[in-house]
A and B are shown apart, each in its own frame.
Chain A
Amino acid sequence: DQQVKQNSPSLSVQEGRISILNCDYTNSMFDYFLWYKKYPAEGPTFLISISSIKDKNEDGRFTVFLNKSAKHLSLHIVPSQPGDSAVYFCAASLNTDKLIFGTGTRLQVFP
């Protein structure tokens, strides 16, 4: 049972435009959500997180939105840069430190 889903395996965006990565979850008890970025041959790198009591968190070019009623979160990257090309994972936690990851979305930012 996949509790955290990233239904788009890939996304291609032009440099300077907005990248929107989506994530859906099934467990309404999740209390924290995180986004990680992963380059090939490296471990995931923490990007940004949001508590379930908030609906938006912003850090520079990265903004995460949480819609609890729809059990949906999204990561917006504005403006997108070629260095943002990577695989992005969303993750959720439930009262523990265990993270449940989605399967990832490969973002490609082209010039």
Chain B
Amino acid sequence: DSGVTQTPKHLITATGQRVTLRCSPRSGDLSVYWYQQSLDQGLQFLIQYYNGEERAKGNILERFSAQQFPDLHSELNLSSLELGDSALYFCASSVERIAGAHEQYFGPGTRLTVT
């Protein structure tokens, strides 16, 4: 158990809909990251938040947005869903980068299926 929790575990929805994925980081971790893993692909970085502020952005579509709340949990919002958005969405957390600490700890993921 990494200490990172994600809800829901599975989500099935229709094209054009909007969903919200939730992540709670490990206790004490200030950074939250979102990754997308499509079928047979590696994990693609979407976005990072640090202590409530956006820190880095990857290949995140404009239809997608995220935020990190004062209690440090984060939500990833996916709107106008398309079939190609079906994927595993992982959240990870880490402490602030100190003396080379790069390890990110991943949650179990949310499997999104768009029909």
Contact = CB atoms under 8 A, between A and B. Distances in A.
Interface string A87-107: 001010100111111111000
Contact of A49 (B56, B92, B103, B106): B103
A89 B42 contact: yes
Interface string A71-99: 00000000000000000010101001111
A61 to B, nearest CB: 19
Interface string B79-92: 00000000000101
B108 A42 contact: yes
B102 A32 contact: yes
Interface string B22-35: 00000000010101
Given A49-B102, A49-B103, A99-B45, A43 B94 contact: no
Contacts of A34: 102-103
Interface residues of B, number: 29
A34, A42, A93: residue with the most chain B Cβ atoms closer than 10 Å:
A42
Given A36-B106, A44-B43, A100-B45, 14 more contacts: A6-B42, A42-B108, A42-B109, A43-B106, A97-B31, A97-B33, A97-B55, A97-B97, A97-B102, A98-B33, A98-B56, A99-B43, A101-B42, A101-B44
29 contacts: A32-B100, A34-B103, A42-B109, A43-B2, A43-B92, A43-B107, A43-B109, A44-B43, A44-B106, A45-B2, A89-B43, A93-B102, A96-B55, A96-B56, A97-B56, A97-B94, A97-B102, A98-B33, A98-B48, A98-B56, A98-B58, A99-B43, A99-B45, A99-B104, A100-B45, A101-B42, A101-B45, A103-B42, A104-B42
